[in-house]
Structures are given as C-alpha cells and as structure tokens.
Amino acid sequence: MIFFAKRPALALIMSFVTAIVIGTLLLMLPASTPKGCGISFVDALFTSASATCVTGLIVRSTATGFTLFGKTVILLLIQLGGLGLMTFSVSLFLAFGKKISKAQEILLQDSLNEDSTRSAREILNFLLL
C-alpha cells in the first residue's frame, strides 16, 4: 500500500486492470452464459473492459448472450467503472466502519481529480447523494 500511496496513478491503473481481469474470469464461467453458448477469452476480456471503462461496446447481446449471473457481473463492472474503483473501495471501508488512512484519502482525491481539502466522507457524500 505504501508503494501505491507514492504512485496514485499506478494504483488507479492497477485497480482497473484487476477489475477487468476478475470480470473476464467471471464472464468465462459456465454460469455466465446460457448452456452450450460459452464465451471466448477475447470476447470476455473485451466485454469486461468495455463495461469497466463504461464504453458500452459489446460483442454479443447482453440480453440473450448472458445468464442472470453474467448480466449481474456486467452490471457490477459498469457500477465499478462509473463510480470509480477508488470511490467504491473507500465506500466499502466506510460502510464497515473502518478508518481511512491519509494515503487512501489521497488516492481517492487523485482518482477523482479533487484538489480540495474535503475528507473522503465529504467527497463520497457529494458523489453518492
């Protein structure tokens, strides 16, 4: 965490890459597609990256090409990408009553291009309400 605190841009990039890779693996599970309609690695990667980056491009129809589980994965990736991964992770910390370190506050401010002195809680209240 100290390594990423000194390099907030790298932390942001790595969080997006991690979300895309996890999304790809979840979309490749047999539970994500209708029986007999598997998805290739490239298609799952493209769908995951497109959802996380909120691009909206698709290779196959989301309505017919994915099961409820697959659609849920795609929706979660869209939420993660839309709100921002740092916003989402800090929200989880606050929801579970955990303290936010100064390094995490700096990461959140940097990921949102926020240069004010507002706390993480104030920033999240502004974003989510």
When the pLDDT of each residue in the chain is averaged and rounded to a whole number, the result is 80
More confidently predicted of 1 and 14: 14
Q: What percent of the chain has pLDDT over 90?
A: 33
Same domain, 73 and 98: no
Contacting residues for 45 by C-beta, under 8 A, at least 6 apart: 20, 24
Q: Count how many domains the chain has.
A: 2
CATH of the domain at 58: 1.10.287
Mean pLDDT of 111-127: 68
Contact 66, 33 (CB under 8 A): yes
pLDDT at 114 over 80: no
Same domain, 78 and 89: no
- By residue range, what is the domain housing residue 61? 2-83
pTM, two decimals, is 0.69
Same domain, 60 and 106: no
Rounded CA gap, 23 and 5, in Å?
25
42: exposed, middle or buried (Cβ count in 10 Å: 0-12, 13-18, 19+): exposed
Q: Rounded to a whole number, what is the largest CA-CA distance in the chain?
A: 53
Calculate the alpha carbon distances from 111 to 8, 36, 64 in Å: 8, 41, 35
